[in-house]
Amino acid sequence: MGINPVNRAAPGAAQRAIAVNQLCFNWASGVAVLRDCSLTIQPGEFCMLLGANGSGKSTLLRLLAGLLPLTSGEIDLSGQVGFVFQNPDHQLVMPTVGADVAFGLVEERLSPAQVQARVWEALNAVNLTHLIRRPIYALSGGQKQRVAIAGAIARQCDVLLLDEPTALLDPDSQLDLVAQVRRLVKDRGLTALWVTHRLLELDYCDRAFLLEKGQVVDQGDPQRLKQHLISLTA
């Protein structure tokens, strides 16, 4: 079985931010999850990925993040990629907010002043500078997700991949988080792909993709997809 690498173009390259072409993925058991899956996202877009449980949404995001090997097909990503898990406790590893955001910068060998500036800028982007010394365990679920997003911003990621980041939040916090991510995408020129099954969240994105049995079967205007899905359950 051949494994195709994820191609990461240099930031600013004149191309799509995310391009997936005829992507296939099978588990080692032979069970197929993605079948000839294709989609493209332009720089600066905030897009959402919909689909029933088992349709392949989370698997696609993990392939884009390089957390799983491709079976076949191609992935092209422009710039650095940040991944936000459904459960932030799976990626927050340091005892305090500031330390956790700084942890992702270790490999860059920055000076202490540079690290401090990056951390402050990232926390300011998600309105959490006042919690820089707060223990992680003392945060709400929404605050933890914002810390995870701040970690990606501190690493100067160009593409954000968010795997149902509102799944564990209360309804008010869900909409607060999606609105904040939209503002970040637009204010900072980022690109985001957000996995969801909540139709209300479609009100905040530019485009949406519908995944069924490992393939993109519809895409485009989020309100059209929203009404289509509502009609199917009426």
The string of DSSP codes covering 36-100 is EEEEEE-TT-EEEEE--TTSSHHHHHHHHTTSS--SEEEEEEES-EEEE-SSGGGT--SSBHHHH
Amino acid at 160: L
What is the distance between the alpha carbons of residues 78 and 12, in angstroms, rounded to a whole number? 7
Superfamily name and number for 1-80+158-234:
P-loop containing nucleotide triphosphate hydrolases (3.40.50.300)
Q: Are 209 and 48 in contact (CB under 8 A)?
A: yes
pLDDT single digits (tens) 156-196:
999 999 999 999 899 888 999 999 999 999 999 999 999 99
Token output for 135: 């223990």
Portions of the chain given CATH number 3.40.50.300: 1-80+158-234
Q: Which two tokens stand for residue 134?
A: 């707060």
Q: Which of 109, 90, 93 is nearest to 101 (CA)?
A: 93
Mean pLDDT over residues 141-148, rounded?
A: 94
pLDDT at 30: 86
- Between the two ends of the chain, the Cα-to-Cα distance in Å is 44
Is the pLDDT at 3 greater than 90, yes or no?
Answer: no
Distances (CA, A) of 219 to 34, 48, 113, 212: 17, 10, 45, 12
Instruction: Kindly report the backbone phi and psi dihedral angles of residue 33, in degrees, each rounded to the nearest multiple of 5, phi listed first.
Output: -110, -45
Mean pLDDT of the chain: 91
Instruction: State the Cα angle at 206 between 180 and 215, rounded to 5°.
Output: 115
